[in-house]
Amino acid sequence: MELQEINRKLEETRIELLGILDGLSEDQINKQKDFETWSISQVCQHLIKTEELYIVAIRKGLKSKEDSFIENKPVEFLVDRSNKLEAPDIAKPTDELLENQVIIEKLNYARQKLHELLNTVEDPSVLSRRHYLHPVFKEMLLIEWLKSLYLHEQRHIKQIKEIIDGP
């Protein structure tokens, strides 16, 4: 998959997420069904933290001068919510109640930082030749980090819709 296509998917997914958030009240955003599940605010905090961590990982992977010859990972399984995954502690949200506008600003800021990083890449094919260690997939090409980012967001859009729709 080309970087241009990934950027389009990242954009489409983010537009969908922001569209969902746009119509929600503070109550809806911060309400937890129970202590075991995240609120919409916490899901968004997780998405923000994840994107920030991906930026760091991609930046580190780009510093490598060695070409990587590793298999593509099955990142598509991220969208399937029947596959239960636990977020690493570093990507878990806090209990802080956030206003809708703050969440949107933080999502936009993280995405802006990602685009700034990607705009520094002179030869996009390097993303398919460099890797960095991923907490779930282990050694993973940087292009797949980017692909998994929008798939991860799609997974959590489904979760947000489940929260909105209720039990």
Of 107, 126, 3, 6, the residue nearest 59 (C-alpha): 126
Q: How many residues does the structure list for the chain?
A: 167
* pLDDT per position as a tens digit, 76-116: 878 888 888 888 899 999 988 889 999 999 999 999 999 99
Give the span between the Cα atoms of 113 and 107, in whole angstroms: 10
Cβ atoms of residues 87 and 27 within 8 Å: no
CA distances from 9 to 81, 98, 120, 138 (A): 19, 27, 20, 23
CA distances from 104 to 13, 51, 70, 132, 158 (A): 14, 14, 36, 28, 18
Give the span between the Cα atoms of 137 and 49, in whole angstroms: 18
pLDDT at residue number 137: 85
pTM of the model: 0.93
Opening angle at CA 8, ends 147 and 83, nearest 5: 35
Three-state secondary structure along 34-93? CCCCCCHHHHHHHHHHHHHHHHHHHHHHHHCCCCCCCCCCCHHHHHCCCCCCCCCHHHCC
Is 1's pLDDT higher than 70?
A: no
Question: What is the overall mean pLDDT for the chain?
Answer: 91
Domains of the chain: 1-165 (1.20.120.450)
Cβ atoms of residues 142 and 58 within 8 Å: yes
* pLDDT per position as a tens digit, 105-129: 999 999 999 999 999 999 999 999 9
Greater confidence (45 vs 77) lies with 45
